[in-house]
Amino acid sequence: MNKKAVYAGTFYPENPDELNDLLNSYKQDINIDYRSKAVIVPHAGYIYSGHAAMAGFQYLEPSENIFIIAPSHHESFNNIALPEYTFFETPLGNLEVNNKLIAEIAEKFPCIVADEVFDKEHSIEVQLPFIQNLFMPQRQSAVDFVKSLKKVGKKIRIVPVLVGNCDYRLISDLISTYWESSSFVISSDLSHYYPIQECRQIDTYTATIIETGRIEFLQPQQACCMVGIKGLVDFANNNDCSMVRAEMYNSGDICNEKDKVVGYGSWFLYTDSRNEFIERYYSRYVIEIARQSIIASINQEEFIPRGIPTVLTQYGASFVTLKLKGELRGCIGSVYPTKPLILDIIDNAKNAAFQDPRFEPLTIDELEDIEVSVSILSSIERINFKDERDLLSKIYPYGIILAERDKRAVYLPVVWEQLPDREIFLNSLKEKAGLPPNYFSRSLEAYKFSAIYITEE
């Protein structure tokens, strides 16, 4: 039995050619070879959320099974719901449901199997044309068809999952169980019907929590499939992965309605840290931004970067270090994320050049010979220790913040290259904080962090 398309002609075009043209118009030239097995994407009408959805879907790696985990807007039930339908129809054709896998899930997880809870639900239907457009093109040569089959291994089937009254760990367990053979789409909009500025504040807070993995701070009103989001983020936390932002805006950015808007965001799961992702794909951009910030300040011009990668709009902390003929010429940074990373880098580059109290402001004659490097910091973690010996055993190879009341100092991880002895490292850091090198007290605090270090080629 087939599930008919209900929202073709309202949420998205009913004409196949018009639908494909619209989806193609949303595609971005991301120039990144990484593909993820899990994404978060919105599910509103395409005119509102289509750009954000495609931004996430373009990172999705196709698999034999694509789970679509979405909220139920019309029916109330406990745990999750699965369909008996054999196909879901869209204007671009039919997508086969993996009924065999659904039967297996029904034996392993608490759920209901019922078609009627899917009949009026848009949160799954609107995702299907993206999958068809990206992974099952209607017009392709025989060679391209064979290549697509070889890449996936077998034809793609979908596993629609509606989330009811449910613990997020059920979703996390579901993802873990089928991770090897599947990809996962979490279908969710963000905040609903707040004034535009309040929506931006709420969604920025939500995004920061998603990106830092602090799921205990996520509340149902922040997103309509919060259980699904928490389940994916919990899986990421348990597997040392991170969530990287692909896009975020709200309906007020698209239309004239500013009083009651809906937020849209997309993320993809990256199998390492966000900072490693930046280092791998955007090192050259980061250095160029830091250098251009300094040049603009020398010329007394306002610097507005172009083509900012979305990942750099996430909040982050950075240090910018300047060297002249191998000698330090300025170093200023932030240890806590208080603004989007791109702005933090721009401000710290300018401050390293002109506000470091240890040096005179950089001159235009020095600019050509200046070497720029940028350190992007991880989150800060407190070090618990019994005594100085215990502290010494825990500081390598991290960046360290030392604090004693109003005295504070920080060393980046790269300082270990100059001070490889732990005791010398710690004593030097004490002196930098204005403390005697042999100082120790029970009120002394220490924090550690890691950092990626980007230098000019």
Examine the domain organization and report whether 177 and 228 are in the same domain: yes
Examine the domain organization and report whether 323 and 201 are in the same domain: no
pLDDT at 333: 96
CA distance between the termini of the chain = 59
Examine the domain organization and report whether 12 and 114 are in the same domain: yes
pLDDT at 152: 47
pLDDT at 1: 87
Examine the domain organization and report whether 113 and 238 are in the same domain: yes
Examine the domain organization and report whether 315 and 429 are in the same domain: no
Examine the domain organization and report whether 433 and 322 are in the same domain: no
**409 and 432 Cβ atoms separated by less than 8 Å:** yes
Residue 220 belongs to a domain with what CATH number? 3.40.830.10
Taking CA atoms, 157 is separated from 64, 66, 108, 184, in Å, by 6, 6, 20, 12
For residue 51, how far is the Cα from the chain centroid? Answer: 16
Examine the domain organization and report whether 260 and 283 are in the same domain: no
Examine the domain organization and report whether 197 and 314 are in the same domain: no
Taking CA atoms, 265 is separated from 135, 207, 209, 339, in Å, by 22, 8, 13, 18
**Beta pairing class for 445-449 and 192-194:** unpaired
Give the C-alpha separation, 445 to 447, whole Å: 7
Q: What share of the chain is helix, strand, coil (3-state, %, to 5)?
A: 40, 25, 35
Cα 120–Cα 124–Cα 130 angle in degrees, nearest 5: 130
Residue 281 belongs to a domain with what CATH number? 3.30.700.20
pLDDT at 456: 85
Give the C-alpha separation, 57 to 35, whole Å: 10
Examine the domain organization and report whether 423 and 357 are in the same domain: no
Give the C-alpha separation, 108 to 312, whole Å: 40
Examine the domain organization and report whether 18 and 166 are in the same domain: yes
R_g of the chain computed on alpha carbons: 25
Pick the closest to residue 315 from 338, 281, 335, 332 (CA basis): 338
Examine the domain organization and report whether 99 and 245 are in the same domain: yes
- Boundary residue ending a domain (361, 377, 393): 377
Taking CA atoms, 249 is separated from 23, 55, 184, 259, 308, in Å, by 18, 12, 22, 15, 15
Pick the closest to residue 164 from 210, 213, 121 (CA basis): 121
| Total domains, the chain | 3
Question: Where does residue 389 rank: exposed (0-12), middle (13-18), buried (19+ CB within 10 A)?
Answer: exposed
**309 and 282 Cβ atoms separated by less than 8 Å:** yes
Mention every residue, 6+ apart, whose C-beta is less than 8 A from residue 446.
382, 383, 385, 391, 395, 400, 401, 402, 403
> What domain range includes position 338?
277-377
Element at 206 (helix H, strand E):
helix 196-212
Output phi, psi for 98, to 5 deg.
-85, 85
Residue 391 belongs to a domain with what CATH number? 3.30.1490.150
- The segments of the chain whose pLDDT lies below 50 read 140-141, 152-153
- Boundary residue ending a domain (221, 246, 271): 271
**32 and 61 Cβ atoms separated by less than 8 Å:** no
Examine the domain organization and report whether 78 and 130 are in the same domain: yes
- Boundary residue ending a domain (377, 407, 436): 377
Kindly report, residue by residue over 36-86, the tens digit of the pLDDT: 999 999 999 999 999 999 999 999 999 999 999 999 999 999 999 999 999
Cβ count near 365 (within 10 Å) = 7
